[in-house]
């Protein structure tokens, strides 16, 4: 398969963790006989330094040509007091908008070796393997009217939740198709007992279910979902939800996995003519300036983002599974970075990347 991938290392630990993710991606491509075309671009603080813009036009053009984009992290302390438009983080909004990614995917896997890092009891977290699909470009974060007006006791704040049928359908399709490739169970999250937008959401998702007879659909109210995620996370496979609910529940999901250095994410848009889903893949963590350049950064979230790319953008489930199993093997070996309770001397970023490559060979 032809894999056209743009790499945006960004700032801080971004270049260190993406270097290891790329090492793994190259190894997978060579081992399974895929033709990997890698390009690199500037985003964030490094882009401001070299071009004056956090999101140069050249980067936008390259992202539109690529099937998938792998991003490290952006943000440098020297820009902390800069106005929003001149901050590295503005580059993130730019690339998301350019790619038109409307579905944010947060896979949450409870690795056995990290069960003790979760604040929940081991027997609750063990076996958790779910994906939260959050609608990313609509809902209450974008609806109008919005604003604060008036004064005194009459001063009022207004936000508006709006969803169109088309917006609900496209994100629900991503979720149905993911479920189809996994355990074939989709949970749609809403607040349809109170909100009209949620009533439309529930109706549209239910209608779409007729096109996916192999997927079992259930609906759950968001308040119950918040409870079930920590009472019985194993019951979930794929969850789909509006922007606001996804923002909150994806952080709750993150707690299940144990460490911020372990969390990958994917943002998905429409399909390219090749069949690949346009996708932006990045670790959930930031640029961690406190440990940048010291070889201490945990690259497993970035490497997990490569697994997500292989699975979601390219449909390469065998390769993605091999990367995920290799991550698990490295965690079990205890040769991990300082943030994950290593056995003995903490491993460096490069050593962890190489260990994943070695584990792909020994486990596949
Ligand atoms: P952060 O995620 O960068 O760091 C929080 C803490 O977690 C730090 O102590 C850091 O050392 C640790 N950490 C993070 N990733 C790690 C890893 N892979 N391995 C080991 N330890 C890790 O969050 P922050 O400190 O709030 O933000 C730093 C900068 O990153 C800011 O400029 C912020 O705006 C930016 N940021 C960017 C993104 C992104 O690029 N998507 C996301 C969040 C924050």
Mutation probe of ligand 1 site: the residue of 71, 75, 254 with most atoms within 8 A of C-beta: 75
For residue 168 the two structure tokens come to: 């609900």
**77-132 confidence digits (pLDDT tens):** 999 999 878 899 999 988 988 999 999 999 998 888 888 878 889 999 999 999 99
In a structure prediction context, what are the per-residue pLDDT tens digits for the chain, which is 364 residues long?
999 999 999 999 999 999 999 999 999 999 999 999 999 999 999 999 999 999 999 999 999 999 999 999 999 999 999 987 889 999 998 898 899 999 999 999 888 888 887 888 999 999 999 999 999 999 998 899 999 999 999 999 999 999 999 999 999 999 999 999 899 999 999 999 999 999 999 999 999 999 999 999 999 999 999 999 999 999 999 999 999 999 999 888 888 877 777 889 999 998 878 777 899 999 989 999 999 999 999 999 999 999 999 998 998 999 999 999 999 999 999 999 998 888 899 999 999 999 999 999 997 6
Mutation probe of ligand 1 site: the residue of 21, 285, 294, 348 with most atoms within 8 A of C-beta: 285
For residue 114 the two structure tokens come to: 């990290």
Kindly list the strands in the beta sheet with 185-190, ordered across the sheet, starting from the edge strand earlier in the chain: 35-40, 2-10, 68-73, 277-283, 264-271, 103-109, 129-135, 238-241, 185-190, 216-221
**Does domain 119-257 sit in CATH 3.40.50.11810?**
no
Pocket (CB within 6 angstroms of ligand 1): 13, 17, 73-75, 89, 92, 260-261, 282, 285-291, 297-298, 301, 337, 339
CA separation for the pair 82, 34 (Å, rounded): 43
- pLDDT at site 76: 96
The DSSP call for residue 95 is H
- pLDDT at site 363: 72
CA separation for the pair 250, 264 (Å, rounded): 12
CA angle 105, 177, 123 (to 5 degrees): 55
The pairing of beta strand 156-160 with beta strand 35-40: unpaired
For residue 298, give the ligand 1 atom closest to its CA.
19
- pLDDT at site 201: 98
Instruction: Give distance in angstroms: CA of 138 to centre of ligand 1.
Output: 26
- pLDDT at site 349: 98
Domain ranges of the chain: 1-107+259-364, 119-257
The residue nearest atom 11 of ligand 1, judged by CA position, is 288
Is the distance from CB of 68 to CB of 314 less than 8 angstroms? yes
For residue 28 the two structure tokens come to: 């997978």
Instruction: Give distance in angstroms: CA of 219 to centre of ligand 1.
Output: 34
Q: Give the chain's end-to-end CA distance (angstroms, integer).
A: 19
Which residues are part of the catalytic machinery? Answer: 141, 191, 223, 247, 251
Q: What is the mean pLDDT of the chain?
A: 94
The residue nearest atom 32 of ligand 1, judged by CA position, is 75
Instruction: Give distance in angstroms: CA of 358 to centre of ligand 1.
Output: 28
Domains 1-107+259-364 and 119-257 fall in the same CATH topology: yes
For residue 290, give the ligand 1 atom closest to its CA.
11
The residue nearest atom 27 of ligand 1, judged by CA position, is 286
Is the distance from CB of 83 to CB of 57 less than 8 angstroms? no
Cα 250 to chain center, whole Å? 10
pTM: 0.88
Assign 159 to helix, strand or coil.
strand
Instruction: Give distance in angstroms: CA of 297 to centre of ligand 1.
Output: 10
Which of 288, 328, 308 minimizes the C-alpha distance to 104? 308
The residue nearest atom 5 of ligand 1, judged by CA position, is 288
Classify domain 1-107+259-364 at the CATH superfamily level: Isopropylmalate Dehydrogenase (3.40.718.10)
Is the distance from CB of 296 to CB of 256 less than 8 angstroms? no
The DSSP call for residue 310 is I
Instruction: Give distance in angstroms: CA of 285 to centre of ligand 1.
Output: 5
The DSSP call for residue 233 is G
Instruction: Give distance in angstroms: CA of 309 to centre of ligand 1.
Output: 21
């Amino acid at each position: 398969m032809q894999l056209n991938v743009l790499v945006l290392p960004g700032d801080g630990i971004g270049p260190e963790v993406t270097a290891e993710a790329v090492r793994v991606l190259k190894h997978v491509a060579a081992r399974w006989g895929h033709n990997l075309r890698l390009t690199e671009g500037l985003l964030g603080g490094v882009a401001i330094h070299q071009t004056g813009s956090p999101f140069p036009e050249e980067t936008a053009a390259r992202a539109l040509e690529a099937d998938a984009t792998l991003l490290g992290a952006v943000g440098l302390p020297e820009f902390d007091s800069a106005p929003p438009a001149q901050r590295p983080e503005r580059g993130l909004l730019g690339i998301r908008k350019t790619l038109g990614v409307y579905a944010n995917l947060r896979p949450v896997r409870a690795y056995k070796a990290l069960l003790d890092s979760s604040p929940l009891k081991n027997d609750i977290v063990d076996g958790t393997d779910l994906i939260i699909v959050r609608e990313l470009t609509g809902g209450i974060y974008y609806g109008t009217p919005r604003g604060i007006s008036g004064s005194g006791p009459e001063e009022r704040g207004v936000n508006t939740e709006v969803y169109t049928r088309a917006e609900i359908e496209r994100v629900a399709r991503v979720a149905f198709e993911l479920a189809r490739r996994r355990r074939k169970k989709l949970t749609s999250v809403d607040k349809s007992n109170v909100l009209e937008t949620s009533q439309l959401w529930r109706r549209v998702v239910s209608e779409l279910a007729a096109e996916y007879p192999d997927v079992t659909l259930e609906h759950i109210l968001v308040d119950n979902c918040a409870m079930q995620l920590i009472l019985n996370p194993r019951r979930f496979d794929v969850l789909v939800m509006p922007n606001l609910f996804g923002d909150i529940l994806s952080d709750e999901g993150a707690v299940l996995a144990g460490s911020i250095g372990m969390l990958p994410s994917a943002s998905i848009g429409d399909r390219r003519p090749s069949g690949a889903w346009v996708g932006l893949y990045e670790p959930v963590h930031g640029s961690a300036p406190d440990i940048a350049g010291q070889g201490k950064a945990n690259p497993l979230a970035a490497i997990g983002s490569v697994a997500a790319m292989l699975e979601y953008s390219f449909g390469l489930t065998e390769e993605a599974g091999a990367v995920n199993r290799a991550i698990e093997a490295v965690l079990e070996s205890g040769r991990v970075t300082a943030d994950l309770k290593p056995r003995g001397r903490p491993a460096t970023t490069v050593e962890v990347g190489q260990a994943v490559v070695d584990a792909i060979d020994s486990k596949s």
